[in-house]
A and B are shown apart, each in its own frame.
Chain A
Amino acid sequence: MSRLLIEASTPLCLLQDAGRFGVRHLGVTQGGALDWVSMSWANWLLGNALDAPVVEITLGGFTVQAEDYCLLALAGADLGAYIDERAISPGRSFILQKGQRLRFTQPFSGARVYLAAPGGFDAPAVLGSCATVVREELGGVDGFGKALAEGGRLVYSGTGGAMKVLSAPDLQSGKPLDVIVGAQIGQFSGQSLFDAFNTAWALDSRADRMGMRLLGAPLQYQGPSLISEGIPLGAIQVPPDGQPIVLLNDRQTIGGYPRLGALTPLSLARLAQCLPGETVRLAPVVQQTAHQQHIDFLKRFTTT
């Protein structure tokens, strides 16, 4: 068993896995790592299952001290990580000797980094997952949805683990985000459809694990009011003010606003690394095409 003492944390430092499934019909949200690609890479670096429990660190402000010899891995954003006084970049596994500190200072590139340990960090599975959902009091180290906090401990029990290095994570490409267009697309005005896919959208500071608001030309929905229905991950809903909101892992399970469509999982992973004020563009994609791209991408984890 290896232990890490948490010396500094924020409400945005959370234990996560791939999320909670099979219970959404009960009103339980999905949860899980916002950048699932980086979570997967962090686990891959240690030879873990790709969805083993990791720490999602958003923006920094997180410090742990090793109470035992620890093997760890990092993937995702560059949040100015240091082992004691030595800088360490994400995309690799590394050793933290007993007494050494790992700290994350501030975002230099991207927004979220994932810390993995052999076999994943220990946490009880609650409704099948240890994904932390603070609002629902589910998951996390204690099982009751608490964010990681100063004075707490991260423990892992797995041994060994591969020592791999990640060559090209390719997270911050400037490509547009792919949107699978939804059934209500035809009920937005022509001008709105043009604007949606041909103008830049700025990320609002009103952003959390439930959703990210996009600021730009207001989109006009002209259809009838809708009856609440299931909301998929990445859904781009358009409330009456016309400013779209991308719904993320901790979204509510049903809702009644019209939707432009839904971002693909690969685009969601990229969006999760964007900071407020950054701009993104949207591009329509067909479901079958996106499906094939996704299946092809997953092969990287087995062949890299």
Chain B
Amino acid sequence: MKPRIEVVAIDCLMVRLFDAIAETNMPWMLAATQRLRSGFGAALVDLVPSYTTLMVHYDLGAVNPAQARALIEQALAGLQPQAQGGGQCHVLPVWYDLSVGPELTLLSQRSGLAIDEVIRRHSAHEYQVFALGFAPGFAFMGLVDEVLATPRLNTPRKRVAAGSVGIAERQTAAYPVVSPGGWNLIGRTPARLFDRGRDGYSLMQPGDTVRFEAVERAEFIKLGGDDTPLEAQA
């Protein structure tokens, strides 16, 4: 493990740990995050993790570029992957249904699997949260069963309901709030994914793991879900 350090802005350095997306990256990413946070302390403005990289945004009034580079090298010297239990494991209830997840049909056709089997495979895996982006609390998770991998819609929807669960290639995600979106929708979760009043704000943090659990409509509604069909909301 020899991370590469690249200049990206006046006060940002990119730490490149891997060249490809893999679930096995995550224990290393978590360990590096912890070390960098404690290494920089108050001089750290933001640390933005994504699949293979950590972008270090430091306070340029506190450290200069050479010092920042040295801090990164020190922090990551002899890096070992985080042992089990680095991130939290979340169970997200999902109501998989054509009325809120119209692309269940498309996924079924493409994979040659029955809709029930599509649902079973999507909810069978414990996914890694690789990164958050696009919107507050929007977690990019993977990796989805290869058979279910499906490219984004050619024309993104103008309006995707909050809680919508989707698939894009081998990734899956849930929309925290109503927004435009091009992912293939397969269901809806009642979970509150982003809450300004909650400690840590976002339910899912980088490095956490997530399992989806199929629930019936009644349970979905009991948990606070909105069962308004997607078309009715458009």
Q: How large is the interface on B (under 10, 10 to 19, 20 to 34, 35 or more residues)?
A: 35 or more
Smallest Cβ-Cβ distance to B52: which chain A residue: A227
B49 nearest CB across to chain A (Å)? 6
| B205:A294 contact, CB within 8 angstroms | no
- Let me know if B172 is at the binding interface, CB within 8 A: no
- Let me know if A265 is at the binding interface, CB within 8 A: yes
Which of A22, A25, A235 sits near B49, CB closer than 8 Å?
Answer: A25
Which of A25, A235, A298 sits near B206, CB closer than 8 Å?
Answer: A25
| A23:B201 contact, CB within 8 angstroms | yes
Q: When chains A and B are docked, how far (Å) is the Cα of A232 from the Cα of B12?
A: 7
Smallest Cβ-Cβ distance to A24: which chain B residue: B46
- Let me know if B21 is at the binding interface, CB within 8 A: yes
| B133:A252 contact, CB within 8 angstroms | yes
| B8:A26 contact, CB within 8 angstroms | no
Q: When chains A and B are docked, how far (Å) is the Cα of A138 from the Cα of B49?
A: 22
* CB 8 Å contact bits of A86-127 with B (1 = contact, 0 = none): 000000000000000000000000000000000000000011
Smallest Cβ-Cβ distance to B33: which chain A residue: A25
* CB 8 Å contact bits of A4-31 with B (1 = contact, 0 = none): 0000000000000000011111111010
- Let me know if B135 is at the binding interface, CB within 8 A: yes
Q: Contacts A230-B14, A291-B60 known; A183 to B7 CB distance under 8 Å?
A: yes
- Let me know if A168 is at the binding interface, CB within 8 A: no
- Let me know if B232 is at the binding interface, CB within 8 A: no
| A264:B10 contact, CB within 8 angstroms | yes
- Let me know if A60 is at the binding interface, CB within 8 A: no
* CB 8 Å contact bits of B46-62 with A (1 = contact, 0 = none): 11111111110100110
Q: When chains A and B are docked, how far (Å) is the Cα of A262 from the Cα of B10?
A: 8
| A230:B10 contact, CB within 8 angstroms | no
- Let me know if A242 is at the binding interface, CB within 8 A: no
Residues of A within 8 A of B (CB): 21-28, 30, 126-127, 135-138, 180-183, 227-235, 252-255, 259, 261-262, 264-265, 287-288, 290-291, 294-295, 298
